[in-house]
Amino acid sequence: MTRKAPSSHRTRQPLDRPLLEVLRSDGPLEIDDLTNALDVTATAVRQRLQRAIESGLVDREQVATSQPRRGRPRFAYRLTAAGRETAGDNFRDLASVLWEEVRSIREPTIRRGLLGRIGKALAARCSDQVSGETPGERLQSVAHLLQQRAISCRVEAEPTSDCLPVLVTHSCPYPELAEQDRGICAAERLMLEDLVGSPVQLADCRLDGGECCRFVTGSDNRRSATPPEKPRHAMVQQVH
């Protein structure tokens, strides 16, 4: 029986950077403070805070008062750990520099080993968000996770390979890196193998002029369809 994905996953919301930056520099703040800082109505502030709370970026705590007060309690709002991590937008530059270093490794054995470790590390960061008993069920769970991160994809059966499950992606999670070096495609394939618990082959690639990338899953004598044991250090990735 297929297990449902945990209900605690948050749907990714667009970042409300003005709100986050005010809380980053001056928080924790109450509704009135945010209304003045953002120059909007209290209703608008509450709506924006609610979206940020649902995204896991903002938390609230009740304000202690020395005298009992009637009416609704007062709350102060502050960034969560995930909210504090939203600062800056230089990850593309850093990723490009790091990948250039990977590309500079000329020894094939070392390079393959590094790509394998990268794939496993990517899988470890989201392994506890993937559910299912069979490779097909787990691939469906992976597709759902990618869709939450704005990656257009779906799972379908491959008619020419005994209805093996296929992950079809119409957008690349790492387009700039993939244009530089197909090694990122290998790392993504290895990540999928770890998450699905079954061998994965890249049957078609957008870099070859196709409309999509197709990752075909299957099983052989080397790998079991049983889901892999989740690493103790697996961590949930918050909305990239």
- String of b and e for 108-124 (b: at least 16 CB within 10 Å)? eeebeebbeebbbebbb
Tokens of 119: 């794939």
Q: What's the pLDDT score for residue 90?
A: 60
Whether 80 and 96 share a structural domain: no
Whether 151 and 204 share a structural domain: yes
Tokens of 50: 């609610």
Does 204 reside within a domain?
yes
Q: What's the pLDDT score for residue 232?
A: 34
What is the dihedral angle through the alpha carbons of 202, 229, 220, 140, rounded to the nearest 10 degrees? -50
Whether 95 and 72 share a structural domain: no
Whether 59 and 117 share a structural domain: no
Question: For the chain, how big is the Rg over CA atoms in Å?
Answer: 22
Q: What's the pLDDT score for residue 25?
A: 85
* Last residue in a domain, options 66, 84, 102: 84
* Last residue in a domain, options 69, 84, 99: 84
Task: Give the CATH number for residue 203.
Answer: 3.30.1380
Whether 103 and 208 share a structural domain: yes
- Residue 212's identity, in one-letter code, is C
How many distinct structural domains can be found in the chain?
A: 2
Q: What's the pLDDT score for residue 163?
A: 64
pLDDT tens for the chain, residues 1 to 240: 344 444 444 444 567 888 988 998 887 999 999 999 999 999 999 999 999 999 889 999 988 776 666 667 889 999 998 888 776 656 677 778 888 888 888 898 998 899 899 999 989 988 999 999 988 899 999 999 888 887 888 998 755 555 678 999 987 877 777 877 788 888 899 999 999 999 999 998 888 887 789 999 875 433 333 334 433 333 333 333
What's the domain range around 56?
Answer: 17-84
Task: Give the CATH number for residue 39.
Answer: 1.10.10.10
Whether 64 and 134 share a structural domain: no
Whether 30 and 130 share a structural domain: no
* Last residue in a domain, options 84, 108, 125: 84
Q: What's the pLDDT score for residue 121?
A: 92
Q: What's the pLDDT score for residue 91?
A: 67
